[in-house]
Amino acid sequence: MTQPFIGKYSDRRPDTSPVWKRLEEHSQSIVHSDLREMFERDPQRFARFSLANGDLLVDYSKNLITDETLHLLLELAREAGIESAREAMFGGGRINWTENRAVLHVALRRRAEGALFLEDHDIMPDVRRVLERMRKFCHDLRSGLIRGASGKKIGAVVNIGIGGSDLGPVMISEALRHYQNGPTLRFVSNVDATDFVEKTRDLKPEETLFIVASKTFTTQETMTNARTARQWLFEGLKDWSAVSKHFVALSTNSDAVREFGIPAERQFEFWDWVGGRFSSWSAIGLSIAIGIGFDRFEELLDGAFEMDEHFRHQPLEENIPVILALLGIWYRNFLGAATQAILPYDQYLHRFAAYFQQADMESNGKRVDRDGEILEYDSGPVLWGEAGTNGQHAFFQLIHQGTQLIPCDFIGFVHSLNPVGDHHRKLMANFLAQTEALMRGRRPGEIGDDCPDELRPHKVFPGNRPTTSILLDRLTPRSLGKLIAMYEHKIFVEGVIWRINSFDQWGVELGKELAKKILPEAEALASGANPDLSRHDSSTAALMRRIFAPDGDEERG
Ligand code: F6P
């Protein structure tokens, strides 16, 4: 295997650093501190613990931190070599060392002139060429210049992909639904045929375009759905040659695309230096661009580029993704938080947490460091969330009064895209009320006198529960691009401090391999044969016999 790319990052394990020990000691005093008092003592707390970039405001003052906390965390970040790691990424270093790849999703939204060399090759002309092809395709499809095999205008576009080839396009298309003025968009991801059947039930083959989005063009779920789509098209049009007019591929694997029957002019390529979970900015974003138009897609890239510039050039203490990452490290490694919630107070962002589950957990769900040593400290937390105010009526009880510390990011917008009556005021009143309630709590002495004694303990809120408020003016492609890039860089910084590779995903391989091995055994069982299942444990073997029994023989075995 290639040598790990270490660049000039620190060689020291973070938990062996004196600053780690000081943070551990400091955390003991913080658990006894009181956020409410901190605000009372310091009227400047919001001003000191908030950062802005354009219309983005990040208020982290309701976190369990003091100046000393930040000071120590910033020292940890510097020791970890964040600045050189950042330059290594933007400069095309092969920082994904287990796959010997550069990590250059930032190049996809680089709105600056000039070259960006990956070794001796300037990748910017490639990036711009594909963007131009996407622009033309979007225009021609939306205007009706590109039509189906029978000459009908395309009225529905179905993106077939999974993981990074699905979650980003889905989340962003949903988030920007307000701006959509193109064909109907559908997303099929699950290998459960229900997904394909339900999403295509009302579609007409002659008016449908399938986008097969797969970096590798080998993913079992995607290729199964793509073949089913090809069959569905044939059954509707009775013409195999229609595939070339009704399919588009977004992939790095040209040979497999061609073999499937999609011609070169219908393939939009990207490159191995684009990680799946960071690929919405690449050709993988084609469905987004078809939905909102290419100009608006470019605004999404513009917003991300603004954040890239901020992240790349701001000093660590004024750097929004760095501060968010340090808060993440603080809660995970020093205050024992196992999970983190993302709570967007905007219905359009209802898939935001699901998207970042992949971005964060596939990136930082790692157990060995860059030397292959097992971590003796925690890495990525479980990330979860739901749009507000719905979450308030589901799981907020536990955040307020449960036994765990759950740091929460509240995301909101000053202006609604749907200013109907006082809905937005109520929405944001809830946003504020929750962050204030979590911080202040309610002490025994603040419970009304009329409350019976036996109920009083149940009505106490401990408070001191940390939140970060992330506020933007309005949900636009630009603000969304900025928000996504902010979290991407946060994930990167955390990974550097944990000394892990945030850009591989070996952990998803074993299940894929085993599923492939089970498939022929399943086929044998379904045909009534009795294959040798002794390599499986008794649980798996019994379940297999039950699930794959031939029809009408479900009790067999
Ligand atoms: O299963 C994990 C994964 O490899 C993701 O990292 C990726 O986004 C997804 O599968 C889909 O991969 P592809 O785009 O190659 O189909």
pLDDT tens digits along 42-67: 999 999 999 999 999 999 999 999 99
Alpha-carbon gap, residue 411 to 419, rounded angstroms? 18
pLDDT in tens, 418-442: 999 999 999 999 999 999 999 999 9
What lies within 8 Å, CB to CB, of 2 at 6+ separation is: 94, 97, 100
Question: How does DSSP assign 263-307, residue by residue?
Answer: -GGGEEE--TTS-GGG-TTTGGGHHHHHHH-HHHHHHHHHHHHHH
Q: 386 in helix, strand or coil? A: coil
Mean pLDDT of all residues belonging to the chain:
95
Q: What residue segments make up the domains of the chain, in order of their start?
A: 15-80+314-444+454-504, 118-296, 507-552
**Nearest-10 crossing angle of helices 320-329, 294-313:** 70
Give all strands of the β-sheet with 208-213 in edge-to-edge order.
Answer: 184-188, 156-160, 208-213, 247-251, 267-269
Quick one: pLDDT band at residue 8, thresholds 50, 70, 90?
Answer: low
Look up tokens 């019976």; give the residue. Answer: 452
Of the residues 362, 386, 494, 521, only one is catalytic, namely: 362
pLDDT of 233 over the 50 cut: yes
Residue 275 Cβ < 6 Å to ligand 1? no
Quick one: pLDDT band at residue 11, thresholds 50, 70, 90?
Answer: confident
Pocket residue to mutate for ligand 1, from 96, 99, 162, 506, most atoms within 8 A of Cβ: 162
Q: Is 362 a catalytic residue?
A: yes
Of the residues 136, 393, 423, 426, only one is catalytic, namely: 393
Give all strands of the β-sheet with 56-59 in edge-to-edge order.
Answer: 50-53, 56-59, 467-472, 408-413, 339-344, 382-385
User: N- to C-terminal Cα distance for the chain?
Assistant: 45
Task: Look at residue 555 in the predicted model and tell me its pLDDT.
Answer: 45
Atom 13 of ligand 1 has which residue's CA nearest to it?
Answer: 214
Q: Which amino acid is at 378?
A: D
The answer to whether 472 and 295 are in contact (CB under 8 A) is: no
Task: Look at residue 557 in the predicted model and tell me its pLDDT.
Answer: 37
Task: Indicate the CATH number for domain 118-296.
Answer: 3.40.50.10490
pLDDT of 3 over the 50 cut: no
What lies within 8 Å, CB to CB, of 464 at 6+ separation is: 33, 34, 35, 36, 64, 439, 441
On whether the 15-80+314-444+454-504 domain is CATH 1.20.990.10, my answer is: no
476: cis peptide before it, omega within 30°? no
Q: State how far the alpha carbon of 109 is from the alpha carbons of 165, 510, 536, in Å.
A: 17, 33, 47
Query: Are 15-80+314-444+454-504 and 118-296 in the same CATH fold?
Result: yes
Task: Look at residue 64 in the predicted model and tell me its pLDDT.
Answer: 98
pLDDT of 372 over the 80 cut: yes
Span 300-304, mean pLDDT?
A: 98
Residue 159 Cβ < 6 Å to ligand 1? no
pLDDT in tens, 71-127: 999 999 999 999 999 999 999 999 999 999 999 999 999 999 999 999 999 999 999
H or E stretch at 250: strand 247-251
> Which atom of ligand 1 lies closest to the CA of 216?
15
Q: State how far the alpha carbon of 274 is from the alpha carbons of 287, 306, 349, in Å.
A: 17, 19, 24
3-state helix vs strand vs coil in the chain, percent to 5: 55, 10, 35
